[in-house]
Amino acid sequence: MDCPAAPATNALSQPVSAAALKARESVDNAAHVVALEYLAAAQGLEFLKPLRAGLGPRAAATRIREEIPPLEEDRPMAREVERVLAWMASGELVAAAEKAAGPLD
């Protein structure tokens, strides 16, 4: 989710470009927070067993667990966060939840 800097053509475009880049950075940071929340929720559900979450959250967690194992000891998670970001961008996690629980409108 990188946003390349556009070259400024005049003095007016520089503040606009800077503001656009700052906004894009904020959106990217928020997406990372949501990806981490997905991972934290999936991990939290591991601790609740044998209790189960609702259909939608359970389906999203199941999709995560298909490729990302539970966290049992410290490990770098950058690749896992990037994987969840890709699923978020493609709509895959929402699709899994909607398939299980119905439309989320």
Determine the average pLDDT of the residues in 74-101. 96
Q: Would residue 6 count as lying in a domain? A: no
Q: Would residue 20 count as lying in a domain? A: yes
Asked whether the predicted pLDDT for residue 20 surpasses 70, the reply is yes
CA atoms within 13 A on the CB side of 60: 27
44 φ, ψ (degrees, to nearest 5): -60, -35
Q: Would residue 26 count as lying in a domain? A: yes
Q: Would residue 88 count as lying in a domain? A: yes
pLDDT grade, residue 19 (50/70/90)? confident
Q: Would residue 7 count as lying in a domain? A: no
Contacts of 80 (CB under 8 A, 6+ apart): 39, 68
Determine the average pLDDT of the residues in 43-57. 94
Asked whether the predicted pLDDT for residue 57 surpasses 80, the reply is yes
9 or 63, higher pLDDT? 63
Number of domains into which the chain is organized:
1
- Owning domain of residue 23: 13-101
Q: Would residue 4 count as lying in a domain? A: no
Q: Would residue 1 count as lying in a domain? A: no
Q: Would residue 5 count as lying in a domain? A: no
The helix (run of H) or strand (run of E) holding residue 104 is none
The one-letter code for the residue type at 10 is N
